[in-house]
Amino acid sequence: MSNKIAVITGGNRGLGKNTVLSLARKNIDCVFTYRSHKDEAQQVVEEVAALGAKAVAIQLDVSDILGFAEFKQTLESTLATQWQTSRFDYLINNAGHGSDSAFADTSEAMFDNLMNVHVKGVFFLTQTLHEMINGWRAYY
């Protein structure tokens, strides 16, 4: 039986990396994203291979929803070439960051970025990819 496949945002470090490695130990393969740390992403790909699973890293900025259509195309071709499938099993919207500024010092640009990464990006990335998730059913 072929491995399940998870798509995880922000998988090159922190909690996302831990999730990728934890899934690999359960024989679950991953396509994960990184925003800027390609070197860290490559290291995670190698650690997953050493655990006997497979991972592919793709660059994505989750605050830029205009990039989601291209990400979907890249994901589709990655799934086709690496797993001979058009679908995956789990979507984990992990990418994000805290705010270093105090409440009184938070600018509108900082607020907008937090919302774009943690709310708007999560909503529209899920909307972009949901029909590719195994078991997804429309209830409307």
Ligand X SMILES: NC(=O)c1ccc[n+]([C@@H]2O[C@H](COP(=O)([O-])OP(=O)(O)OC[C@H]3O[C@@H](n4cnc5c(N)ncnc54)[C@H](OP(=O)(O)O)[C@@H]3O)[C@@H](O)[C@H]2O)c1
- Please report whether residue 28 would count as binding ligand X according to CB under 6 A: no
Q: Which of 5, 6, 12, 92 binds ligand X (CB under 6 A)?
A: 12
Q: How many CB atoms lie within 10 A of CB 137?
A: 5
Strands (E), the chain: 5-8, 29-34, 55-59, 90-92
Of 100 and 108, CB closest to ligand X: 100
Measured at the CA of 97, the angle between CA 96 and CA 103, to 5 degrees, comes to 130
3-state secondary structure of 33: strand
Of 34 and 88, CB closest to ligand X: 34
- Please report whether residue 53 would count as binding ligand X according to CB under 6 A: no
Q: What is the DSSP letter of 109?
A: H
Query: Per-residue x/- mask for ligand X, residues 90 to 109, rule CB under 6 A?
Result: ----xxxxx-----------
- Please report whether residue 122 would count as binding ligand X according to CB under 6 A: no
- Please report whether residue 36 would count as binding ligand X according to CB under 6 A: yes
Residue 42 parent element (H or E): helix 38-50
Site residues (vs ligand X, CB under 6 A): 9-10, 12-16, 34-37, 60-63, 94-98, 117
